[in-house]
Amino acid sequence: MKSGPSPAADQGENPERIPRRQAGRLHWLLEWAENPDANAIRTLEERGARVLQVLPEGGMIVSAPDGMDWRGLEFTWRGLLTRWHKLSPLLKEGMSEFLVELHPDVDPGEGMALVLQMGFHLLWHPDLPGDQIWIRGAAELLGDLADWDEVSFVYPAPDAFGQGEPVHVCSRSYASGTTIPQLIARVGEGWDGPGLGAAALSYTFGPLTEKLSADTIRLEIERALAEWSRHVRTIFTKGTNPAAARNLHFLFGSRSHGDDFPFDGPSRVLAHAFYPSPPNPEPIAGDLHFDGDEAWRNGVDVDLFSVALHELGHALGLAHSDAPGDVMYPFYRRASQLSPGDIAAIRTLYASGATPLALLLGATPDKTTDSVLVLTGSAEGGAGPYSIRWSSDRGGGGTLRTTGAFQFDVPLLAGRNIVTIEAEDSAGARASRSVAVSRESVSETAPALRITAPAAGGTFVSTSRTVVVRGTASHASGISRVTWANSRGGSGVAMGTGNWETQPIALAEGVNNISIAALSVSGAAAAAGLTVQYRSETRDTTAPSLRITSPSSSTFLTSAAAVAVSGSAADSSGVAAVTWTTNLGLTGDAAGTTSWTASVPLSYGNNAITIRARDAAGNTSWRTLLVTRR
């Protein structure tokens, strides 16, 4: 488990210490010395227990009635899941949005009622499965939430949810129709057995989809295989027998396609993979299935390479990561390579391979309204330490020395910005990567709207900075309260219960997903979602004013090695930064904004110096100097 080995003590005698919304049953963690046989499972079921999920190496999550007779069941450990098991190690102070995974047999309405009862706000996304609840609240309250029996795991939510984009969740398939819980990091010891070794595997192809050419499908899947082999000692060789041991079989299928996990048609489950043997049996161990009804694409959603890269992690033995930037996070994202977190995870199963110098970049958005791109990544392979430099086609750059990981705050100007990262190791080897990010003022798209006011359906587009949401709520026991939360920030309690309305909700530019939640007097809960797309009527297009006060002339001679330049800048929305560049490729930031100074180094000969001022909306203005050093 992600929290470490299970506590040694048997916790079976203290069921009363676990709070729960429904009496009569509790969720237990059972561990055997090896995977239990059919007789043990049958005995559990005959005594009223239900096997919900399996864990590697003889573990399982079961729902059992109070007072169940555990005698004669030869497990090595039995315990009630506690907050120690259920809280992701990646949770930390300052986080405010989280995903709560419920046990598979918990009614989603009970889960929603629980998080409201514990003081959290519900957030809404149309693509979330029923066992996942998106919440906002204080991180210090998560322990009390995780104590409840209905909660299986709590982990960080991705920023992408708040941007209103469609998401796809991985199905977490296991053998015999069961699934893997989020609370474990890996399944089994990998194809190489215990310890860190190497694995030699074959791969074959079954039926393909006509939505991509056969050559493209094979190329993208082989590219995903190569990405994993780039970081650990796994060797993949094209095979001929799909039923062979230690073979990964790739196929496309629709609906029922020969395993215990039928696909569901377009737009929901995209693919699934089966973990290595053991624990999954041959010949299905390691196989990867893709839903043939999806609109498979190359380089855009639904991107075959990105999905294959994620599912191969499962086929090699990894469960899901808790880090939203990892390929192995349970919600697919478009990716071109593994993240540092993915690489660290796979190296707990297999030996690291000697690799050439490579640059790994964290996830970056295609579009954003932010003025600064936080660019993270790491250099791997080669001979460290490394020199890392970034540059933008819109101006600016920076360099640092690192043993691996790096982070740059890259200013973005309005429009398309191409940012290039270059790495050089101590032996002189070089690698580079580029990303393109468009800084825009309005986000596209809006999901469906299901609130009675301000609109009865469809998409509601607002040019007002606030919106008031109205509606009704009823329950046999009465309504305790109605709450609201905006995915872009802000939450509160609505006025009224049977007939209610929110206070004016502040809107952010672009998509705002607004969640309405009603809690009854008896503790039942209901939730509804509304999408509001806010478009401001005006946009700041005025560049800041910029003056160079010293030197007083724009052209002059000097024998000094540097020139001191100073001046002023002003803008109605505020001056974000003042920078300087030279025709010889030197760059830097001036000290100050409205009143600024800069010391610019000079080379012999002509030096063309450009001073730029940028406002908060991305508008820029510039002034130039021509300085000749003798």
Q: For the structural domain made of 85-163, what CATH number should be given?
A: 3.30.70.80
Say what percent of the chain tops pLDDT 70: 92
Higher pLDDT, 401 or 568: 568
* 57 belongs to the catalytic site: no
Task: Provide the pLDDT for residue 412.
Answer: 87
Average pLDDT score over residue span 423-427:
75
Token representation of residue 219: 């190329």
How far is residue 172's CA from residue 179's CA, in Å, rounded to a whole number? 5
Which tens digits make up the pLDDT trace of 88-129?
999 999 999 999 999 999 999 999 999 999 999 999 888 888
Which tens digits make up the pLDDT trace of 130-150?
899 999 999 999 999 999 999
Task: Provide the pLDDT for residue 449.
Answer: 37
Catalytic residue among 101, 311, 380, 424: 311
> Angle formed by the axes of helices 214-229 and 304-316, to 10°?
50
Regarding the domain delimited by 175-346, which CATH topology (the fold level of the hierarchy) does it fall under? Collagenase (Catalytic Domain) (3.40.390)
Which tens digits make up the pLDDT trace of 367-389?
988 888 999 998 887 666 788 99
- In which band, very low, low, confident or very high, does the pLDDT at 8 lie, cut at 50, 70 and 90? very low
Task: Provide the pLDDT for residue 11.
Answer: 46
- In which band, very low, low, confident or very high, does the pLDDT at 179 lie, cut at 50, 70 and 90? confident
Task: Provide the pLDDT for residue 21.
Answer: 92
Higher pLDDT, 280 or 559: 559
- In which band, very low, low, confident or very high, does the pLDDT at 572 lie, cut at 50, 70 and 90? confident
Give the distance from CA 196 to its chain's centroid.
28
Which tens digits make up the pLDDT trace of 266-315?
877 899 999 998 778 899 999 999 999 999 998 888 899 999 999 999 99
Q: Which CATH architecture has domain 370-439?
A: Sandwich (2.60)
Which tens digits make up the pLDDT trace of 507-534?
888 888 888 877 887 777 777 778 888 8
Which tens digits make up the pLDDT trace of 233-264?
898 999 999 999 999 999 999 999 988 889 98
- In which band, very low, low, confident or very high, does the pLDDT at 448 lie, cut at 50, 70 and 90? very low
Check if 175-346 and 460-534 are the same fold.
Answer: no
Kindly give, in sequence order, each residue whose CB lies less than 8 Å from that of residue 116, ignoring residues fewer than 6 positions away: 122, 483, 517, 519, 525
Neighbours of 371 (CB within 10 A): 17
Which tens digits make up the pLDDT trace of 308-363?
999 999 999 999 999 999 999 999 988 989 999 999 999 999 998 656 778 889 88
Which tens digits make up the pLDDT trace of 427-440?
567 889 999 999 87
Average pLDDT score over residue span 194-199:
89
| Residue closest to 85 by CA, chosen among 166, 183, 210, 163 | 183
Distances in Å between the Cα of 164 and the Cα atoms of 170, 306, 444, 459, 512 are 19, 20, 9, 13, 7
- In which band, very low, low, confident or very high, does the pLDDT at 538 lie, cut at 50, 70 and 90? low
How far is residue 604's CA from residue 185's CA, in Å, rounded to a whole number? 59
Residue 146 phi/psi, 5-degree rounding, is -65, -20
Higher pLDDT, 485 or 505: 505
Q: Is the pLDDT of residue 12 over 80?
A: no
Task: Provide the pLDDT for residue 5.
Answer: 53
DSSP string computed for 299-360: SSSSBHHHHHHHHHHHHHTB---S-TTSTTSSB----SS--HHHHHHHTTTBPBPP---EEE
Pinpoint the alpha helices (H) of 382-501.
Answer: none
| Span of 49-63, 158-172, 571-585, 600-614 with lowest mean pLDDT | 158-172
Task: Provide the pLDDT for residue 175.
Answer: 54
Domains of the chain by residue range: 15-81, 85-163, 175-346, 370-439, 460-534, 545-629
How far is residue 493's CA from residue 490's CA, in Å, rounded to a whole number? 11
Q: Strand 199-205 relative to strand 151-156: parallel, antiparallel, unpaired?
A: unpaired
Per the CATH hierarchy, to which homologous superfamily does domain 460-534 belong? Immunoglobulins (2.60.40.10)
Angle at 387 between CA 382 and CA 389, to 5 degrees: 125
* Arithmetic mean of pLDDT over the chain: 87
Average pLDDT score over residue span 403-431:
85
- In which band, very low, low, confident or very high, does the pLDDT at 426 lie, cut at 50, 70 and 90? low
Per the CATH hierarchy, to which homologous superfamily does domain 545-629 belong? Immunoglobulins (2.60.40.10)
